[in-house]
Amino acid sequence: AAVCSPCLFVDISAHPSVGPITLTLPYLYICCAAESIQVSNSNSNKNRMSAHAMSMHAPPRASDNPYNLKAGEHSTGTTIMAIPFDGGVVMGADSRTSTGTYIAVRVADKITQVHDRIWICRSGSAADTQALTDYIRHYLGQLAIETGRAPTVKTAAHLMKRLIYENKDNLMAGVIVGGWDSVEGGSVYNIPLGGTMMKMPFAIGGSGSTYIYGLVDHKYRDGMTKDEAKALVEKSIAHAMARDGSSGGIIRTVVISEDGCDKEFIPGDKLPYGP
């Protein structure tokens, strides 16, 4: 007997002389004795069960689960961004964490420090990205102790790329790795879903990024100062928050340079939205 997926009906037309056999399937029960074949379901029952089977196997509507999250899993929704300048990097993110249309956390911190001057902006599944940054923080700490010197941003990005790429079927994580080191100065690496790693002149990510590509392309230029880069990060994220339902709350920024890290936030009623 051949099973016809996904209806799970049994095709026995090619086997007219089936001996005594009983097959039990999730949606259809067939009893065969000698050369007479009796199907316990009428055609109407078959049609109803076929429709039920199809509905059971049908994927959920995109509106029900736009990020394909597991039950109870939180999404960082997100707009994240990083721009290097001469002497460091400015990184920024919104603060909304959601479960479908429900906002689970209004003031989440999506910019995570993994070493003295290396930070990671997280987007995708909150659980996945938190676990990944914990691993990176552990590995970089071990590396710094073993080598006796601070790790580079490229090393942190490479470790994150390996973790995401080698587990891409089980993770939903898109991150931006940025910071300052003595080799490259300020640098930014973008690692989207799937684990590709690219060094970028600037990086944006998350669901809100699609709304601000034109704005960032128009305003960005090489050789920006720290103040110019910080102003562009704040304005771009504010515009994304105004358009993207999964981005919102406050804007968090961190400026990373050889002198250290300066973290700030802009409250939701003082966002720099506008021309």
Catalytic residue positions, numbered? 78
C-alpha distances (whole Å) from 70 to each of 55, 56, 60, 65, 170 are 19, 17, 12, 9, 11
Q: What token pair was written down for 248?
A: 């919102």
Please return the burial class of 17, using the count of CB atoms within 10 Å of its CB with bins 0-12, 13-18 and 19+.
exposed
Residue 88 CA to residue 76 CA, distance in Å, equals 26
Per DSSP, helices labelled H in 28-125 are 43-57
C-beta separation of 90 from 226 below 8 A:
yes
Using alpha carbons only, give the angle 266, 99, 97 rounded to the nearest 5 degrees: 15
* Phi, psi torsion values for 185, nearest 5 degrees: 70, -140
